[in-house]
């Protein structure tokens, strides 16, 4: 039997959730599914929620989290994939209620599987992972809405987090003046090394302000925070500006008047990287493999192994992580 290792989270008495490394075996694949030998995964905020028992993410335990996986096809009942082919799976139900990339093997529907584009390694695809894909989608939305480097500064919130750090690096590469908002001002030099022009404190944006409009400061923004932070961002966009909103680390609720929209014509652009069509994911991966290729990609992630997951997950859950955690399942 084909045995592999996985980080499995179990529900214990008094709603405690505990993860440990276990041996698992993979059943025969069902029609239309692909078994993947996972080489790399990564740690995302949603994984931290799943591993800590958030039923909004994972309904039933024991469960193997990991919303990201990159590896080689081990077996496929879909003719679109051949054994040995390099592939990426992110989002859909992976790691939520389907065993995810914190295991050395996954079995997923072929419709979730993106082919690794030429020019991107399995490793780098997971340095980016869902966070990087989301950052890419945010930048893509801004570009589609006509944002150019000449329009003015672009703000990135949660700048040292997974989405934020990739958004900073990508926007800087594309020639934008990037302003990074962070709760970790001590990481300012690291952000500047990625090409960020200015670093501001998270608190500057997170306090509620009763004024319906604030000084026009940014042509565009990538926001991972939601809540009062997103409201302040919307109020601070210059005329015709756009914010790509993808997260809720501050709060899922926003309390904003329509005035920024009807007086300044600003755009609130929603970004989802989970359920969007595979073809769009493939398009963004292809950009990261070519014109969006990040020279500083190695500096974005710390590599960890299965046994180091508990500490990494706790740090991500507490908002204390800097950059990305790359999970090496072959180490």
Ligand X SMILES: NC(=O)c1ccc[n+]([C@@H]2O[C@H](COP(=O)([O-])OP(=O)(O)OC[C@H]3O[C@@H](n4cnc5c(N)ncnc54)[C@H](OP(=O)(O)O)[C@@H]3O)[C@@H](O)[C@H]2O)c1
Residue 158 sits in the site that holds ligand X (CB under 6 A): yes
Among 219, 230, 316, 329, binds ligand X (CB under 6 A): 316
Task: Identify which range of 33-41, 80-88, 130-138, 170-178 contacts ligand X by CB under 6 A.
Answer: 130-138
Q: How far is the CB of 90 from ligand X (least distance, A)?
A: 9
> Minimal distance in Å, beta carbon 207 to ligand X?
11
Q: Compute the least distance from the CB of residue 6 to ligand X, in Å.
A: 21
Among 95, 162, 195, 260, binds ligand X (CB under 6 A): 162
- Smallest distance from ligand X to CB 49, Å: 8
Q: Which stretch binds ligand X (CB under 6 A): 13-21, 26-34, 155-163, 294-302?
A: 155-163
Minimum CB distance to ligand X, residue 4 (Å): 26
Q: Is 206 in the site for ligand X (CB under 6 A)?
A: yes
Q: Does 242 bind ligand X (CB under 6 A)?
A: no
x/- site string to ligand X, residues 244 to 263, per CB under 6 A? --xxxxx-------------
Convert 99-113 to b/e letters by CB count within 10 Å (16 or more is b).
Answer: bbbbbbbbbbbbebb
Least spacing, CB of residue 125 vs ligand X, in Å: 15
Q: Which is nearer to ligand X, 86 or 250 (CB)?
A: 250
Output 73 or 244, the one with its CB closest to ligand X.
244
Site mask, ligand X, residues 208-227, x = CB under 6 A?
----------------xx--
Which member of 9, 19, 46, 88 binds ligand X (CB under 6 A)? 46
Among 161, 195, 241, 260, binds ligand X (CB under 6 A): 161
CB 132 within 8 A of CB 288: yes
Closest CA to 243 of 225, 222, 264, 260: 222
274 binds ligand X (CB under 6 A): yes
Backbone angles phi, psi at 80, to 5 degrees: -75, -15
Tell me the closest approach of the beta carbon of residue 29 to ligand X, in angstroms.
27
- Per-residue HEC secondary structure of the chain comes to CCEEEEEEEEEEHHHEEEEEEEEEECCCCCCCEEEEEEEEEEECHHHHHHHCCCCCCCCCCCECCCCEEEEEEEEECCCCCCCCCEEEEECCCECCCECCCCECEEEEEHHHCEECCCCCCHHHHHHHHHHHHHHHHHHHHHHHCCCCHHHCCEEECCCCCHHHHHHHHHHHHCCCCEEEEECCHHHHHHHHHCCCCEEEECHHHHCCCCCCCCCCCEEEEEECCEHHHHHHHHHHEEEEEEEEECCCCCECCCCCCCHHHHHCCCEEEECCCCCCCHHHHHHHHHHHHCCCCCCCHHHHEEEECHHHHHHHHHHHHCCCCCCEEEEECCC
Q: Is 183 in the site for ligand X (CB under 6 A)?
A: yes
Shortest reach from residue 133's CB to ligand X, in Å:
8
Taking the complex as a whole, how short is the minimal distance between the CB of residue 38 and ligand X, in angstroms? 19
Distances (CA, A) of 171 to 100, 136, 161, 274: 30, 9, 15, 22
Single residue of 273, 306, 309, 327 touching ligand X by CB under 6 A: 273
Give the footprint of ligand X on this chain (CB under 6 A): 44-46, 130-131, 134, 157-164, 182-184, 202, 206, 224-225, 229, 246-250, 271-274, 316, 319, 321
């Amino acid at each position: 039997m084909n045995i592999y290792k996985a980080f499995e989270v179990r529900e214990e008495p008094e709603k405690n959730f505990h993860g440990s490394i276990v041996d698992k075996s993979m059943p025969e694949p069902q029609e239309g599914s692909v078994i993947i030998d996972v080489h790399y995964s990564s740690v995302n905020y949603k994984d931290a929620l799943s591993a800590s028992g958030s039923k909004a993410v994972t309904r039933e335990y024991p469960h193997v989290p990991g919303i990201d996986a990159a590896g080689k096809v081990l077996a496929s009942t879909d003719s679109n994939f051949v054994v040995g082919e390099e592939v990426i799976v992110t989002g859909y139900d992976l790691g939520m209620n389907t065993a995810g990339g914190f295991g050395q093997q996954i079995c997923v529907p072929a419709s979730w599987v993106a082919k690794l584009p030429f020019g991107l390694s399995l490793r780098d695809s997971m340095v980016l992972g869902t966070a990087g894909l989301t950052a890419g989608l945010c930048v893509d939305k801004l570009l589609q809405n006509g944002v150019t480097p000449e329009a003015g500064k672009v703000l990135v919130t949660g700048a040292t987090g997974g989405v934020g750090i990739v958004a900073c690096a990508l926007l800087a590469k594309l020639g934008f003046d990037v302003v990074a908002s962070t709760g970790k001002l001590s990481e300012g030099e690291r952000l500047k090394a990625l090409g960020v022009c200015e670093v501001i404190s998270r608190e500057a944006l997170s306090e509620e302000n009763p004024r319906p409009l604030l000084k026009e400061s940014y042509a565009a923004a990538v926001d991972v925070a939601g809540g009062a932070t997103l409201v302040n961002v919307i109020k601070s966009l210059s005329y015709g500006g756009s914010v790509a909103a993808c997260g809720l680390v501050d709060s899922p609720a926003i309390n904003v008047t329509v005035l920024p929209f009807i007086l300044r014509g600003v755009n609130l652009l929603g970004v989802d990287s989970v359920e969007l069509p595979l073809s769009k994911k493939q398009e963004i991966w292809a950009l990261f493999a070519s014109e969006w290729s990040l020279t500083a990609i190695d500096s974005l992630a710390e590599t960890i192994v299965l046994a180091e997951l508990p500490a990494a997950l706790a740090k991500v859950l507490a908002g204390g992580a800097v950059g990305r955690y790359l999970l090496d399942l072959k180490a």
